[in-house]
Amino acid sequence: MSKPSDLVQGTLDLLILKILALQPLHGWALSQRLKQISGEVLQVSDGSLYPALHKLEQQGWIHAEWKPTENNRRAKFYSLTRLGRRHLEKEAANWERISTAISSVMRLTEV
């Protein structure tokens, strides 16, 4: 099984942080949101979300907590920490800068 490339991996982290910044979610809900937002562009299996979530948790950017959900079930909810928010801002700005640069290069037309 081949691992996703660094770019995709980093992008996945960024997407997770961004989604969690809006509201705390559990794993499955997060995967649904991811599919919803990105459509068919990001082809990742549901499972590959979990190594990413656990890594972000170990880095202190997100916080995990078991909480009750509908009809007496429990789920592990992930929320953004203060550190994670700061990291997201930095990374988002970074992404902005790089994507702007790349898009402007791509916009160059042949003369």
Between 1 and 110, name the residue whose CB sits nearer to other proteins: 1
In angstroms, give the least distance from the CB of 110 to other proteins: 42
Report d(CA 109, CA 103) in Å as an integer: 12
Q: Binding to other proteins by residue 23, rule CB under 8 A? A: no
Tell me if 67 sits within 8 A of 73, measured CB to CB. Answer: no
Q: Report which secondary-structure segment, H or E, holds 25.
A: strand 25-26
- Which residues lie near other proteins (CB under 8 A)? 1, 26-28, 31-32, 45-48, 50-51, 54-55, 57-60, 66, 73-76, 81, 83
